[in-house]
Structure 1
Amino acid sequence: MVSNSDQSRSGDRETLPLESLITLQCFSDDLAHITQCLQTLGELQELVSTCSVLSG
């Protein structure tokens, strides 16, 4: 039973390489966007902290 599922999985990998690559590329693009947003949020947090210190 395990060998059957292994065979079907490898078959899927062989029959859908383009879809898998497109999915991976979209996922990679999403991760890059999320990383950029997190960096921007970090910069905003630093700015807010600086303003709080200056006004306090």
Structure 2
Amino acid sequence: MDDEKNNVIDDYFIAKENQLVCKQKMNIFMATLNKDLTMADGLFYIVKASSSLLMV
């Protein structure tokens, strides 16, 4: 879902041979296999990949 609650999954992923495949370069973060956390907060978050680096 984007900030406006639109389903944008088709912009980022495609199902190919029974696998979820990325359609574009992206960064995946906060990924988890913890079932309770996944049900409460989601499996992972993504952002479009950028050529700029963020230094924190």
Provide TM-score, normalisation by structure 1.
Answer: 0.17
Larger Rg, first or second structure (1 or 2) = 1
Return the structure number with greater relative CO, CA threshold 8 A, min gap 6.
2
Which one has a larger percent strand, Structure 1 or Structure 2? 2
